[in-house]
Structure formats: C-alpha cells, structure tokens
Structure 1
Amino acid sequence: MDSDVIVVGGGVVGLTTAVTLAERGLRVRVWSRDPAEATTSAVAGALWWPYRIEPAEEAGGWALESLRVYGELAAAPEETGVRWVPGVHADTVLEGLGAWAAGVEGLRRLPPGEVPGPYTTGLAARLPLIDMPVHLAWLRGRLEAAGGSVERRAVRRWEEPAAAAPVVVNCTGLAARELVPDAGVRPVRGQLVLVENPGIEEWFTAADAGSAETTYFFPQPGRLVLGGTAEEGAEAPAPDPVVAAAIVARCARVRPEIAGARVLGHRVGLRPSRAGGVRIASEPLPGGGLLVHHYGHGGAGVTVAWGCARRAAELVTG
C-alpha cells in the first residue's frame, strides 16, 4: 500500500478532512466520483452559519472551530475564497440560537426599523462568506502541498479503497445512502439563481428551518447568488423556472433592484441531510482495515468543515 488513508468524496468535507490528515503527516489520497466543480459543495451559497444541522450542541462547537479557521483564511481572500462580509439574518432572534451564538463576535439584535424588507426582527453580523469554486481549488492545492492527491474514481464497495490503504474515510455525502447503506440519508434540494450584482455589498437571509422556501442573497465575486429552497426528499436535478421566478421575487421584496438584474445562470444542489444528524464514527473493515464515517452535514457542511474534520482525524490517528 502506498497510502495511509483513502478519503472517499471530493467535496468540501472530504477535501478539508484530507488536508487535516495530510498535515498530520499521513499519506492521503482522495477518491472522488465527480470533479470538485460538479459536487454539491460547488453550488453552496456558503455563508458561515449553523443551518439545518444536527446534533445541535456538537454542531455549534464544530462551527465555532471552523469560524476561527475561516477568520484566518480571510486574510487572503483572493487565494482562499474566504471574505468577511456584513449582513442580516431576518426573522431570527438571539434566544432562538444555541450556545454557539455567544462565540460570534459582533452578533447583535437589530431595532425593527433597521431590518430590511418586510421583517421586524433580525440580527446583524459580520461573517465569513466563501466563494466555493475558489475555495475548493485552494483546498486541493493545500492538500497537494502537503503531499496528498485527488483522483477521479467512483467507489462501489469499501473493499476497493481498503485494498489501497489501511484506513478509509467515508465523506460521500448523499451517496452514503447507497454505499453504507444508510436509509436515514435524504436529500434536501436547493435551487439558486445567479444574477449580475446591481451593487449589493451585504448578504441577507430569512431562512425558516421548517419551511421549503427561503430568501437570501449573497454577494460573490462576479455575481449575486439568490436563494432559495429547502425541499426535503426532492431530487430533481434541473432548475424549475417557476421556482426561479419566485426566488427572484422574494429577494426583490427586500432589495427592489434585484428584480431588474440580468440572470447569469441557475444552480441546483442536493444537501446531504441525515436522520440523527452528522455521523462521525468508525468501524472495522474485513481484513483488519478501519472505516471512518464522516457524512450527514445537511446544509452546513461548509460551516462545520474544519471542526468535523478534526474530529474525524482523531478517529484515524487515535
């Protein structure tokens, strides 16, 4: 065997886990069925915020650990894709958040008159906003600098990577439903609209975790990302034009200039949710190998990536 670890899955969770392991001195290869730009991670709006993720208490700790890392990466936004950007979470109150909220510097309640759009409650914050195509490329470069590599390769059975390394880390996201198999894994479909930015510099969200419709916009380099949806169990890969029009209309109720912005494209991603929340656990493989599961991050894979990667790495290195 010429590797210590095979990480299966090349999205943000897989790449961050691979970087964490490689920088601990292990020989790491990532096997990914899809190129990074075709993963669910590449579609993510990618604002740091613990959204649709369980278990809540552990996720809060993972999120704060990741927040510290993103704060460091924001020193070089052109390289890492990470920027500090101010914005507003409407329809959100401090009392409704977990203990992790105390670790977010500058998070504050807004007076009703300062909440944008048709909302009367909200929180203001300055948070990391990640340009995912740039960030995924940066993660791969950091992995390669640590001696790791990424290969396009689909996995049908765990015996395949186990023949190449004594440790296999399962970061397959939604594919864990069939590969593990885990019947608790289910998609939560998200649809986005990309438009020319009419001059908006702050992000905005109004995302009820219990609703299939959300409203948000994120200013990314060269585009404004509009969202969105959170359709549990839906797997349609093609954008729905009716849904797209509704997304634009909801965002325009907050910032009217969005209504006239030229549409650049549409995106659909399937968030890998799981009943019971994130699974980070290990089990033996036939022949003496070790399989570490690391999936089920729902809509917050970017938010918890570094904290979860450290936890998964502990199961690998002991």
Structure 2
Amino acid sequence: MSTGDGGPGLRVAVVGGGVVGLTCALELARAGHRVEVHAADPWEATTSAVAAAIWFPYRAAPTDAVLRWGAGSLGVLTRLAADPETGVRMLPGTFVHRTADPDLWWTPGVPGVRPAVPGELPAGAPAGTRCTLPVVDTGRYLPWLAAECAAAGVVPVPGRVAALDEVAGDVVVVAAGLASGALLGDDSGVAVQGQVVRLADPGLAEWVLDQDGPAGLTYVVPRGRDVVVGGTAVEGATGLDPDPGVEAAILERACALVPALRGQPVLSRAVGLRPGRPTVRLERLEVGGRPVVACYGHGGAGVTLSWGCATEVAAEVAAVAGGRRAAASASSSQA
C-alpha cells in the first residue's frame, strides 16, 4: 500500500469506534495506511448513536478551527446526501432566536442562510434563521461508515484500551471521546449529558432548534422513520438511564414548538454523554517515543466536525510518513 505520493503506508492504530474514530480510520485507509480501529463498544453503543446528528457545531471551540472543520464536513455530508444508503438527508429548518441580536457565528460557509418569515416560525417563536442542513440518521450512517471502513481494509479490534502501550502501530490516533483524556494525561474533559426520546414521525419535513427557550434546550429532528426530540446538556452528569420526568419536560417543550408531535407514540429513548472540553484537541505529540495524534473533545459536534477533523488527522499522519521517508533517504545517501 502507499500514501498516495509514492511512499509506503504506515501502520496506524485508531483508538475509538464512534463517528470521529471511524471517519479518521476511513480517511487514513483511503490514504494508503494500514489501519486498525480499537473500539470498546460496538457502534450502536456509542454516544454517536444517540445523537440527533444535525450539522451544527454545538458546544465546540475554538471558533476558527471549528468553522474550518465544520465546512469540510458540510461539504462531504452534502455529497453523501445524494446516496440514500448513507442515511444523510438535506432538510430545511429553523433556528429559533429569542434575543434581538442572535449570535450567528456558525453561519459562514452555510448556503442559503436567511431570516425566517412569520409563517415559517414555530408556535411561540419570536424570530429565527432559516437554512438547509444535513441531517444524519446515525442508525443507518454508522453501519454505512463501518462498512466503508471494512471495504477500505480497516481491521476492527474489539476491546477497551487502558494505555497506549497496549496497541501496536507506527502512529496512534486517539479519538475515543470521553475516554481519550485518560490515555493522554488530560483531565480537562467533562461529560455533557444529553437525553432524547424518539417518536413516530407524523410526516415532518423540517427540523427546529431552540437553544434559548425559557424552559430549556429543545430540538426536533425528523428522520423519516422517527423524530429525535431533545434535549438536555447537563455538564458533569454521567448517568445513562433516561429520567421519566426529564422526558416529560422535553416532550412538553417539543410539542409546544411542533404541535403535530402530540400523541405520537414513543419508539425509543436514550441518554448519551457528549465529550465536552474547553476546546477540541487536534494535535500531534509524542508519547513513549511514538507519534500520537489527539482528536477529541468535540462536545455536541462529533458528526458536524468529523470529516474536517479526519482530513487534518490524515495530514498529520502523512507528515509523519514524510519525515520517515526523508530520514531514510538521508541515511541512505550518507551510506
């Protein structure tokens, strides 16, 4: 195999089997590296599987890098929406505003952004911003992504990694969400608990996101076969059992925004722990004499940033490969 520029591919161990880890693995394999993914849980047990997964850089920083990574992912997801097998669809929707000067920092690079007109606003919403964004059905997208990895030659290795010296490889990519910090001596991460309930879809054609509602965060994301309704963002909470009282409050808020949801049966419910961090960590370092690329702390934006971050992870690994070729060439010429 080659890295695409004539050099041999490296053996790369990716730690983490959620959306960020799998996307990094796929990009690395496509670049010609020999890739193994070490996953503590199957995809359906990851935080990624709980996400409503609309493209939106929620609780992610720093702004400049997030916009760059988000733009990269937006382009890829928009293209993937042309293939129904991926589980990605482009849907219009409304971001509700409850202040006179909303912060639209996330909109650069998003096409078709405009103010909502009164007839487009959900019940009780004073103002809003309209745009069309990718909505990712993770129940279809994650198995599609895993199948793409398998087709590219990525080897799955089940089991939890407790220390980086447990995995072999020329380079290690740490993309294990909340478990990443412990592998790199970084205690800056924090769980941000999110609870959702999935209802039968009454035929909704648009999503709604209301971050500043007086009763709490609310989002309604239709996926055709169901509607993901949320949510919460409880920093530091680590429980994974759905709270019936919290669910009732979520449903009341959602039904106030989208009355068509009233009476729809509950299909499933879930709680996930977003990997919060003051900033996303994406950098190359050395651990135990071996290059390691950190890629974690994506908050509520794992899907949103996945492809953009994977591109930069692949560039970091390519730099390692290039450095090794240069060193080998220098050694050969001296001999």
In the superposition, the TM-score normalised over structure 1's length comes to 0.93
Equivalent in the alignment of 1:75: 82
The 2-side partners of 1:88 and 1:312 are apart by: 33
- What is the aligned partner in structure 2 of residue 315 from structure 1? 316
Q: Aligned to 2:260, what secondary structure does the other structure show? A: helix
- Quote the Cα distance in structure 2 between the aligned partners of 1:176 and 1:279: 10
Larger Rg computed on CA atoms: 2
What per-residue deviation string (whole Å, max 9, x for no partner) do you get for residues 192-234 of structure 1? 011111222211110149x993111111132111100011111
Which residue does the alignment assign to 1:133? Answer: 139
What is the letter of the counterpart of residue 308 of structure 2?
G
Q: 1:226 aligns with which of 189, 214, 229?
A: 229
Give 5+ residue unaligned stretches, structure 1.
none
RMSD of aligned alpha carbons: 1.8
Structure 2 match to 1:50: 57
- One-letter code of the match for 1:267? A
Q: In 2, are the aligned partners of 1:212 and 1:232 still within 8 Å (CA)?
A: no
1:91 corresponding residue in structure 2 = 97
Q: Contact conserved, 1:88 with 1:123, CA < 8 A, in 2? A: yes
Alignment of 1:1-318 (within 5 A): 4-77=11-84, 79-91=85-97, 96-98=103-105, 101-161=107-167, 164-208=168-212, 213-275=216-278, 277-286=279-288, 288-318=289-319
Moved over 3 A (4+): 92-95
Q: Deviations over 1:116-174 (max 9, x none)?
A: 1211110111110001121111111111111112221210111011xx21111000111
Aligned residues: 310
Which residue of structure 1 lines up, in the alignment, with residue 5 of structure 2? Answer: none
Q: In the aligned structure 2, how far is the partner of 1:263 from the partner of 1:181? A: 41
Unaligned runs of 5+ in 2: 1-8, 320-335
Distance 1:264 1:142 in 2: 28
The two structures have a TM-score, normalised by structure 2, of 0.88
Give the Cα–Cα distance (whole angstroms) in 2 for the partners of residues 228 and 253 of structure 1: 14
Percent of pairs with identical residues: 45
Q: CA deviation at 1:91?
A: 1.3
Q: How far apart are 1:112 and its partner, in Å?
A: 4.1
CA contact (8 A) 1:177 1:186 kept: no
1:47, CA displacement in angstroms?
A: 0.2
* Contact kept? 1:3, 1:29, Cα under 8 Å: no
Separation of aligned partners in 1, 2:31 and 2:79: 19
Q: Distance in 2 between matches of 1:213 and 1:31?
A: 37
1:9-67 per-residue CA deviation (whole Å, 9 max, x = no partner) reads 00000000001100000000100000000000011000001111100111011101110
More off after superposition, 249-258 vs 27-36 = 249-258
